[in-house]
């Protein structure tokens, strides 16, 4: 698909790549992402020393690893954000094929690290979670198919994207990894809605989740245990949800003080899935609201810029990436405050995790590439032209 160029916005021929990138970049979103990374390092210094001591490492062993992974993520984000949408699309389609093959191979070559779900490949010195890399490239691939559907004599891209989505969700559910499966489903539904799908069809898809969830509850002990724990009125204080709930209550508005929190000594996943509980306990509601504001800036700024985009592929891909980024943050924080059942999902750019950080850097780099200013005018210019 060829990007259509309209409007009277001047094109600066021969402009160097870096100045052009900086001029067209959404600097507010970039600043918010860098701030989230900084918050992640700050909270990692608070949450990871107990785990390092338990495993016989220096106090800031995991902070150093997070800084290394984060540096790799930032490099991936910057490089990806400098690419054209066409280059991002081509690379994403190729990467999707590789990530999907890796996902299929998990039952045969993967490991669960004792967590009851086979989601990782162990490399000895590190581990890789294919689903983290699959999410952003699936969004771009699905957006390409949906946009191709609108072309004259184009392929049935919507149907193909639907079949891809169903296949991926099924494979993820078999791991089981219902959190990532729900993210894939949600992002696809958002893109499908934006592409012009009828509300009845979207509603039917969501209603179909009910019998699927009932089947999963009856046949998956892993899934049933998490749902039972979520629905139980009483919270066992010795469970992860119990520790997180108590930490958030103890933190109050301003927190108990830097380094004074106790939840990090009790929660095995304090540096990953429940990092927001550490933030709430030591720094209080103030830091939690700041984190929420930073995620909101990225998502809302992206949507406002995408509303001016004419290319349907860019509009759909950017919408899906922004939705996935924001909803993953909502799910992680919703689990910590017991609004949602536990899903084992990281907080983007804040939680510890190599796959999560690097894949997140690629995803946000794609989003920044799609939301860069291009010499095309705005959609409303077309409407004005038709009125005249």
Q: What is the pLDDT of residues 122-157, one digit of tens each?
A: 887 778 899 999 999 999 999 999 999 888 888 888
- Return the closest-CA partner of residue 346 out of 366, 363, 329: 329
Q: Are residues 24 and 372 in contact, defined by beta-carbon separation less than 8 angstroms?
A: yes
Burial 101-124 (b: 16+ CB within 10 A, else e): ebbeebeeebeeeeeebbbbbeee
Q: Tell me how far apart the alpha carbons of residues 76 and 365 are, in angstroms, rounded to a whole number.
A: 7
- Mean pLDDT score of the chain: 85
Report the first-to-last Cα separation within the chain, whole angstroms.
29
- pLDDT, tens digit, 9 for 90 and up, residues 283-329: 999 999 999 999 999 999 999 999 988 899 999 999 999 999 999 99
pLDDT digits (tens, 9 = 90+) for 154-205: 888 899 999 999 999 999 988 878 889 999 999 999 999 998 877 777 778 7
Residue with token string 């933030």: 279
5 band by pLDDT with thresholds 50, 70 and 90: very low
How many other CB atoms are found less than 10 A from the CB of residue 281?
Answer: 28
The pLDDT value given to residue 269: 74
CB 352 within 8 A of CB 66: yes
Contacts of 152 (CB under 8 A, 6+ apart): none
Render the burial of 252-265: b for 16+ CB within 10 Å, e for the rest.
eeebbeeeebebbe
Q: Which residue has the higher pLDDT, 377 or 250?
A: 250
CB atoms within 10 A of CB 220: 17
Closest CA to 295 of 40, 112, 23: 40
């Amino acid at each position: 698909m060829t990007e259509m160029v309209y409007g009277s916005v001047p094109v600066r021929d021969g402009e160097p790549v870096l100045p052009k990138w900086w001029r067209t970049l959404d600097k507010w979103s970039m600043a918010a992402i860098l701030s989230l990374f900084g918050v992640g390092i700050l909270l990692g210094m608070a949450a990871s020393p107990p785990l390092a001591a338990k495993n016989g490492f220096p106090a800031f062993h995991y902070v150093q690893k997070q800084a290394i992974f984060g540096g790799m993520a930032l490099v991936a984000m910057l490089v990806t954000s400098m690419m054209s949408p066409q280059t991002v699309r081509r690379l994403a389609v190729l990467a999707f094929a590789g990530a999907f093959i890796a996902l299929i191979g998990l039952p045969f070559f993967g490991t669960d690290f004792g967590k009851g779900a086979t989601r990782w490949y162990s490399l000895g010195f590190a581990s890789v979670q294919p689903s983290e890399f699959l999410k952003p490239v699936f969004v771009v691939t699905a957006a390409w198919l949906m946009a191709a559907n609108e072309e004259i004599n184009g392929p049935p891209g919507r149907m193909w994207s639907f079949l891809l989505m169903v296949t991926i969700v099924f494979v993820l559910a078999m791991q089981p990894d219902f959190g990532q499966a729900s993210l894939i489903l949600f992002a696809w539904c958002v893109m499908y809605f934006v592409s012009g799908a009828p509300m009845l069809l979207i509603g039917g898809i969501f209603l179909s989740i009910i019998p699927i969830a009932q089947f999963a509850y009856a046949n998956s002990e892993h899934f049933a245990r998490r749902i039972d724990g979520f629905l139980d009125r009483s919270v066992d204080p010795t469970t992860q949800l119990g520790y997180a709930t108590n930490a958030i209550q103890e933190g109050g508005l301003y927190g108990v003080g830097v380094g004074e929190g106790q939840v990090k000594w009790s929660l095995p996943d304090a540096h990953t899935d429940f990092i927001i509980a550490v933030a709430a306990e030591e720094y209080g509601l103030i830091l939690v609201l700041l984190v929420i504001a930073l995620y909101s800036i990225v998502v809302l700024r992206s949507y406002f810029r995408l509303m001016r985009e004419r290319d349907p592929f860019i509009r759909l891909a950017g919408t899906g990436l922004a939705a996935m980024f924001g909803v993953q943050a909502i799910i992680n924080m919703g689990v910590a405050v017991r609004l949602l059942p536990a899903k084992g999902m990281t907080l983007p750019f804040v939680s510890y995790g190599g796959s999560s950080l690097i894949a997140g850097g690629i995803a946000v780099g794609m989003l920044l590439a799609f939301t860069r200013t291009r010499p095309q005018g705005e959609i409303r210019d077309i409407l004005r032209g038709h009125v005249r």
